[in-house]
């Protein structure tokens, strides 16, 4: 399910052992166990942070990126360096990121010199927009589903190979359940580096934001957010 981009073997092995021991001995503290696209499962989580990748040329031009592998631009690299300085005092045990270049590079720059394992997981890839990737000014596209995607997500019906909200919430929910929660509940500081829509799905789950408020969870490029 994931590929390792940059891993410190001993550190990662210790993290896996801690998560495995915790999952056998300590149940997750939950107030709800419902996973659906309209709401969030509520957890007591210790240290979970999330960061959207730095800016790309497509971001600057207002183009939908989705799964298209667009690299960081100069401004994106600079913002990752600046955000690293602003948060230099935060300790991270492990970082999970999208395998797309813009997210991986952001993670590498942000964590430079910290000796933190960086692991790419396919479930953290950006929401796919199919044939509409590369579209500029999506809100003006009245003859495609893109307008509903951003203004009426509850009624969004994807076409042209685009991904549904059901699919996005399913894979990000699995990641939280199988990876992030066992580690964070074991007391580890976990960083997720991803994308606009993918990060929003995780934020909605953690904070209990319904689908009609999905885009309220959209964060700026390269701004660290502590979820709990």
Task: Point out the residues that are catalytic.
Answer: 53, 126
**CA–CA separation, 178 and 71 (whole Å):** 29
Q: Which residues pair with 193 in a beta bridge?
A: 51, 97
Question: b vs e for 35-47, b when ≥16 Cβ sit within 10 Å of the residue's Cβ?
Answer: bebbbbbbbebeb
Interacting residues of 163 by C-beta distance below 8 A, sequence separation 6+: 66, 127, 128, 129, 130
Q: Which residues pair with 50 in a beta bridge?
A: 192, 225
Cβ atoms of 225 and 50 closer than 8 Å = yes
**CA–CA separation, 78 and 163 (whole Å):** 31
Write the CA distances from 44 to 12, 27, 32, 115, 188, integer angstroms.
23, 11, 11, 27, 13
């Amino acid at each position: 399910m994931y590929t390792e981009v940059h891993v410190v073997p001993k550190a990662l092995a210790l993290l896996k052992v801690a998560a495995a021991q915790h999952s056998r001995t300590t149940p997750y503290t939950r107030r709800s166990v419902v996973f659906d696209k309209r709401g969030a499962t509520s957890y007591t989580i210790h240290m979970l942070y999330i960061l959207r990748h730095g800016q790309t040329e497509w971001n600057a031009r207002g183009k939908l990126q989705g799964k298209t592998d667009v690299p960081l631009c100069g401004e994106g690299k600079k913002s990752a360096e600046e955000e690293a300085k602003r948060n230099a005092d935060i300790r991270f045990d492990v970082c999970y990121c999208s395998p797309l270049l813009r997210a991986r590079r952001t993670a590498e720059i942000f964590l430079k010199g910290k000796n933190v394992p960086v692991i790419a997981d396919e479930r953290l890839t950006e929401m796919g927009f199919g044939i509409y990737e590369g579209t500029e000014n999506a809100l003006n596209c009245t003859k495609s589903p893109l307008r509903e995607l951003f203004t009426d997500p509850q009624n969004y019906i994807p076409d042209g190979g685009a991904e549904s909200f059901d699919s996005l919430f399913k894979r990000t929910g699995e990641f939280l359940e199988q990876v992030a929660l066992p580690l964070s509940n074991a007391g580890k500081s976990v960083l997720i580096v991803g994308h606009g829509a993918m990060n929003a799905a995780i934020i909605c789950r953690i904070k209990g934001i319904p689908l009609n408020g999905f885009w309220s969870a959209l964060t700026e490029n390269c701004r660290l957010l502590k979820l709990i």
